[in-house]
Structure 1
């Protein structure tokens, strides 16, 4: 099995969002670019002169720097707080932008000699995960004035709140940016994919910060027309077995399995590759027809088939994100990001 990455669809999605909302885009490519391969995606960004992306952790940023041709205009925003033992990496790589998730973070970064032009301020409005609290804004304002600080950016997170609460966050964030001095920030952003759907183009922001939208999928409450799916999981049937005379199939009594046919096709993927056993009972697409997945083992998966299916026929998994999400009761961010790096990613 291979994961095929559509270059055309990826760039289409970014351009669609940029043109529709008249904002620059910060593609979020954390968690191995949501399973799409962070090396492939970062190279595409560089190719199309999209000069910024965001990741969750510093090791993701350092992984990108290993595999792209150096372009000092290309910036990588890291969301996590940076521990002191990694600060030298930040100083030595001007391409890396870091998040101050507290006043303590900001103090550590500045005392370590990191330029404020490499720092973005994260403001917390109740998400509880990270960010500088609203009550500390006066301290922050005084520090900016005293030291004449100019930052790479300022941002917050429009998490899954009720609509009116989201409007309050937008208004409060807008006032804070004005209070701290809008001209002190090169980038201003607060909308992930859900925030884009719910609130459209927000005047104070300079950038949108979508993750799943750039890869062409969506979750409940977040939807954008005309996005194109970037990901396809495809392979070949390696064997077909007639099991009509068998009492057992893999680790199960055959009579306990929800089968009506007497043949199974075998494909090379299993839960050891991140294709979980909860996929049992869902469907694969073979010759434009749906066939039920019967058994997922560590290295292989069995699909119930009929006589129309042959060895080397193409099979596609997760061909429809909506039905996958509904069957697995998992969002696609979870489903795609756990697919193993053992599965080759191929750019098309």
Structure 2
């Protein structure tokens, strides 16, 4: 009997390969971004694999994500939290946590509260409307650092959706800021996100801050054939029905669904409650090395038009062709993965 058959399988070898490849690519250390449940792959699973492989530094967006890593009771880890911390009491006595100073005011509040500067990473805003200390505040930041004689854990910024020429300009701006503030005041320096890693080199940085690339997820224009996909969403056919005489398939008529001549329907145990959305209707999946169309997605089940060769228990693979899925759903692959719910078990291979 097939129960909760759909799982997200994680290829341990591919994950480690991607980390090691990216280290060699620019000759820098990697700061893996494991926010949003490790881009949907499963934070505890991904962090566990990387920790076992020697990784000790991680980055997340929010305190609640850092807390999940702390509960794993790993030794000697450092976790950078990108977003501002509302209640500083939460982090005061947790030296494993590194806090971003996203404004000059926030930096002063952290120092006044008693957070050691060696636990703080300064974020610089290049004008993207995100977090960070503004460029016009850098001179005041310099004066504050000198006044307090501060040494920081790190400094970073963000290259996002910039063309090549603009990217080079921002890298130069970042270099000048480092020179002004004193490069030796920062243990860790990082600038490139995943797209920036492939497009730009930066001599000043000590680390590459990489999210989707460590999982082998890539977008048009940012492709490297050496990276390997880590996830595979797959399971087993939970049942087959002959619907040749039926007017309905699950919650819709065959005519409404556009499958009027359908004879056989296969059911798999995944639905929009699992984060496999109804936009997947009309897309494809792989069963026995053949592509079949997804007819309907309900809350807990998905129905696929199949032929007589498909049997209960046969292996089915979803999201098998990322480019097709992205085009069909009009969503980035990491959007589709991050919404996959905990009901889908993450399994390390």
Query: Into which bin does the TM-score normalised by the smaller protein fall?
Result: over 0.9
2:75 aligned partner = 71
Distance 1:253 1:269 in 2: 21
Distance 2:45 2:254 in 1: 42
Paired residues, what number? 343
Q: Equivalent of 1:53, from 46, 52, 58?
A: 58
Matched, 1:27 2:32: yes
Q: 2:30·2:207 contact (CA, 8 Å) conserved in 1?
A: yes
2:204 aligned partner = 204
2:340 aligned partner = 339
- RMSD over equivalenced CA pairs, Å: 1.0
Superposed CA deviations along residues 159-201 of structure 1, whole A, max 9, x for unmatched, are 11222211111100110011100110011111111111221x2
1:213 aligned partner = 213
Q: 1:213·1:224 contact (CA, 8 Å) conserved in 2?
A: no
Distance 1:143 1:151 in 2: 13
Higher mean alpha-carbon deviation, 322-331 vs 13-22, is at 322-331
Q: How does 1:1-348 map to 2 (within 5 A)?
A: 1-67=6-72, 69-72=73-76, 74-83=77-86, 85=87, 87-199=88-200, 201-259=201-259, 260-348=261-349
Distance 2:25 2:340 in 1: 32
Q: 2:91·2:97 contact (CA, 8 Å) conserved in 1?
A: yes
Superposed CA deviations along residues 30-67 of structure 1, whole A, max 9, x for unmatched, are 00000011111111221111111100001000111102
Distance 1:168 1:314 in 2: 50
Distance 1:300 1:277 in 2: 11
Relative to the length of structure 2, the TM-score reads 0.96
Structure 1 segments (4+ residues) deviating >3 Å: none
How far apart are residue 226 of structure 1 and its match?
1.1
Distance 1:221 1:30 in 2: 23
Distance 1:258 1:249 in 2: 11
Relative to the length of structure 1, the TM-score reads 0.97
How far apart are residue 220 of structure 1 and its match?
2.8
How far apart are residue 88 of structure 1 and its match?
2.3
Q: 1:238·1:268 contact (CA, 8 Å) conserved in 2?
A: yes
Q: 2:287·2:317 contact (CA, 8 Å) conserved in 1?
A: yes
Q: 2:243·2:262 contact (CA, 8 Å) conserved in 1?
A: no
**SS of equivalent residue, structure 2 residue 217:** coil
Q: 2:158·2:193 contact (CA, 8 Å) conserved in 1?
A: yes
Distance 1:253 1:208 in 2: 52
**SS of equivalent residue, structure 1 residue 143:** helix
Distance 1:75 1:315 in 2: 39
How far apart are residue 323 of structure 1 and its match?
1.4
Superposed CA deviations along residues 107-149 of structure 1, whole A, max 9, x for unmatched, are 1110110000000000001110110000000110011111110
Higher mean alpha-carbon deviation, 91-100 vs 269-278, is at 91-100
Distance 2:263 2:220 in 1: 38
Q: 1:13·1:214 contact (CA, 8 Å) conserved in 2?
A: yes
**Unmatched segments (≥5 aa) in structure 2:** 1-5
Q: 1:4·1:345 contact (CA, 8 Å) conserved in 2?
A: yes
Distance 2:37 2:181 in 1: 34
Q: 1:235·1:316 contact (CA, 8 Å) conserved in 2?
A: yes
How far apart are residue 252 of structure 1 and its match?
1.7
**SS of equivalent residue, structure 1 residue 187:** strand
